[in-house]
């Protein structure tokens, strides 16, 4: 009960609420929470619209996300997120958009945010994106206010293992009333240390909102809130409460927040993650979580602790094709020949459905491609097509240039035709299968031979076979040593 009054009281401070209390980061991604919110450079699912919208550009299929949590495990501090993301054009070639909504609060204090995000690729390895937010605030006995904010992000893929990202939060300097909402810049890097282990680190620098003229302290609260607090809290707790109010001044500090996380893929159905973040007050908050993939539904769980207020738990569902599985696009933004689906291969220039199927068949028969040049061994792909697609494809780990001799395309060798059956075939008693072992006799001719002997009776001599439609003297010469009528 004391914790509830403490937090609600903080939220009801006015006008301080309008400056520091409104629209603080609620961490709208369960997956990011589990990694200490260090997600700016990973940015590879639909929740990235809230953390680095540029990451939307590399999504290859629509996704729908919903998340729910209670801040510090309090029912009054319920937080919900809904987000739909959709790539446009083939594999997002025309960009990717997001329609999203966030809701937070209780009967006395409510925040609503409706956003529209969009991202596009610049080449194969760089993307830009934004999230335009319409933010509404409703405070009981005070009134309502609204504003518009803009987040802007950049994502660049340096190598197959390293990505970097930058996020500018509220770059438009939104205001509630006459006061600015706080802004911030996040710089992040992710490194794929192992095939199933990714490390990530973010550095967040907040740009504080203006708080000139604001006062802090117990006596600045409305009288009814003061009375309720005095009835419920002891002197020691009231001192702690005043300390919390005074701590709002800490937002003036410019010390950055360090975030670090890791994600470990145990198998294609289960992913584990953990992380921490160290704030300007030097408090360290630890977090963790996991994902369970069931068909095309991804279930995310996360928790993050607080040194005083307790833990925040969250759960999210993400629906969509190939959710967080091995994608056709590699970390460099190129199409990985060894993992791409047929649809992803068809996004390459001059690669149609049959050619994509031939690529998949080749990698299955040869245990994958060793270099990108191997693709010229696939039927329908010659040097001209290779020149068109070579900058858009990868095989994950390529050999160094100059160490591999470019192969020439060698068409598959035709299967040798049978030279004849292992024994002589009696054409009066042979089955269809036995007749097809004869040189030049396929299933249809075998059926014609059987139909002839049913109509005209048994063959009296081997030469009578010439009377069968489709078998002339030349065909008979090839057959005569392998047939009998006895």
The mean per-residue pLDDT over the stretch 395-414 comes to: 48
| Helices 2-11 and 235-246, packing angle to 10 deg | 30
Does residue 102 contact residue 81 with C-beta atoms inside 8 Å?
A: yes
**Lowest-pLDDT range of 72-81, 83-92, 239-248, 330-339:** 239-248
User: Percentage helix, strand, coil, to 5, in the chain?
Assistant: 30, 35, 40
Of 483, 412, 405, 404, residue with least CA distance to 441? 483
Question: Do 163 and 155 meet the contact criterion of CB atoms below 8 Å apart?
Answer: yes
Report, as an integer, the average pLDDT of 223-245. Answer: 70
User: Is the bond into 15 cis (omega within 30 degrees of 0)?
Assistant: yes
Tokens representing residue 258 in the block: 């360090």
| Average predicted confidence (pLDDT) for the chain | 81
The residue that leads in pLDDT, 11 or 318, is 318
Question: Distance (Å, rounded) from C-alpha 28 to C-alpha 34?
Answer: 11
- C-alpha closest to that of 81 among 27, 150, 11, 44: 27
Place of tokens 């993939």: 293
pLDDT band at 81 (very low <50, low <70, confident <90, very high): very high
pLDDT of residue 339: 78
Considering only residues 113 and 229, tell me which one the structure prediction assigns the higher pLDDT: 113
**More reliable by pLDDT, 335 or 247:** 335
Give the pLDDT confidence of 316-331 residue by residue, as tens digits.
Answer: 999 886 554 434 444 4
Phi, psi at 333, each rounded to 5° = 85, 0
Is the pLDDT at 341 greater than 80? The verdict is: no
For residue 479, what pLDDT is reported?
Answer: 85
pLDDT for 37 beyond 60: yes
> Average pLDDT, stretch 261-274?
92
Q: Is the pLDDT assigned to residue 421 strictly greater than 60?
A: no
Contacts of 441-444 with CB under 8 Å at 24 or more apart are: 441/479
**Between the ranges 55-59, 117-121, 304-308, where is the mean pLDDT highest?**
117-121
Interval 345-377: pLDDT, tens? 877 888 888 888 889 888 888 888 988 999 998
* pLDDT score at 384: 85
Triad 51, 136, 67: Cα angle to 5°: 45
Angle at 312 between CA 2 and CA 198, to 5 degrees: 155
- Identify whether the C-beta of residue 275 lies closer than 8 Å to the C-beta of residue 263: no
The better pLDDT of the pair 400, 78 is held by: 78
The pTM of the full predicted model, rounded to 2 decimals, is 0.61
Q: Encode pLDDT of 377-390 as tens digits.
A: 898 888 888 988 88
Q: Burial of 273 by CB count in 10 Å (0-12 exposed, 13-18 middle, 19+ buried)?
A: buried
């Amino acid at each position: 009960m004391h914790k509830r009054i403490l937090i609600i009281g903080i939220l009801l401070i006015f006008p301080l609420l309008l400056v520091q209390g409104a629209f603080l980061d609620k961490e709208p991604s369960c997956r990011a929470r589990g990694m200490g919110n260090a997600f700016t450079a990973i940015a590879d699912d639909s929740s990235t619209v809230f953390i680095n919208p540029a990451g939307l550009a590399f999504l290859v299929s629509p996704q729908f996300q919903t998340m729910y949590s209670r801040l510090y495990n309090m029912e009054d501090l319920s937080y919900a997120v809904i987000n739909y993301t959709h790539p446009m054009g083939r594999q997002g070639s025309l960009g990717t958009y997001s329609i999203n909504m966030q809701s937070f609060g209780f009967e006395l204090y409510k925040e609503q945010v409706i956003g529209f995000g969009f991202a596009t690729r610049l080449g194969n390895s760089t993307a830009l994106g934004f999230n335009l937010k319409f933010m509404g605030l409703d405070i009981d006995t005070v009134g309502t206010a609204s504003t518009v904010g803009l987040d802007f992000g950049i994502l660049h893929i340096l190598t197959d293992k390293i990505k970097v990202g930058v996020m500018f939060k509220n770059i438009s300097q939104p205001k509630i009333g006459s006061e600015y909402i706080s802004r911030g810049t996040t710089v992040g890097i992710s490194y794929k240390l192992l095939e199933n282990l990714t490390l990530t680190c973010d550095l967040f620098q907040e740009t504080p909102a203006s708080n000139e003229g604001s006062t802090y302290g117990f006596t600045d609260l409305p009288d009814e809130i003061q009375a309720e607090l005095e009835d419920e809290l002891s002197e020691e707790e009231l001192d702690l409460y005043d300390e919390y109010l005074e701590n709002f001044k800490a937002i003036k500090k410019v010390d950055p927040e360090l975030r670090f996380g890791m994600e470990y893929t145990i198998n294609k159905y289960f992913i584990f993650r953990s992380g921490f973040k160290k704030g300007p007050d030097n408090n360290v908050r630890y977090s963790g979580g996991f994902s369970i993939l069931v068909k095309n539904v991804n279930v995310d769980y996360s928790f993050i602790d607080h040194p005083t207020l307790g833990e925040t738990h969250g759960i999210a569902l993400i629906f969509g094709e190939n959710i967080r599985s091995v994608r056709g696009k590699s970390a460099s933004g190129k199409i990985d020949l060894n993992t791409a689906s047929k649809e992803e291969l068809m996004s390459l220039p001059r690669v149609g459905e049959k050619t994509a199927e031939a690529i998949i068949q080749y990698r299955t028969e040869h245990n994958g491609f060793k270099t990108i040049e191997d693709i010229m061994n696939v039927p329908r792909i010659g040097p001209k097509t290779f020149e068109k697609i070579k900058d858009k494809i990868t095989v994950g780990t390529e050999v160094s240039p100059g160490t591999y001799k470019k192969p020439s395309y060698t068409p598959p060798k035709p299967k040798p035709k049978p030279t004849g059956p292992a024994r002589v075939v009696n054409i009066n008693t042979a089955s269809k299968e036995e007749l097809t072992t004869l040189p030049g006799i396929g299933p249809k001719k075998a059926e014609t031979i059987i139909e002839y002997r049913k109509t005209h009776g048994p063959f009296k001599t081997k030469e009578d076979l010439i009377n069968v439609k489709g078998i002339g003297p030349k065909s008979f010469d090839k057959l005569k040593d392998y047939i009998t009528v006895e």
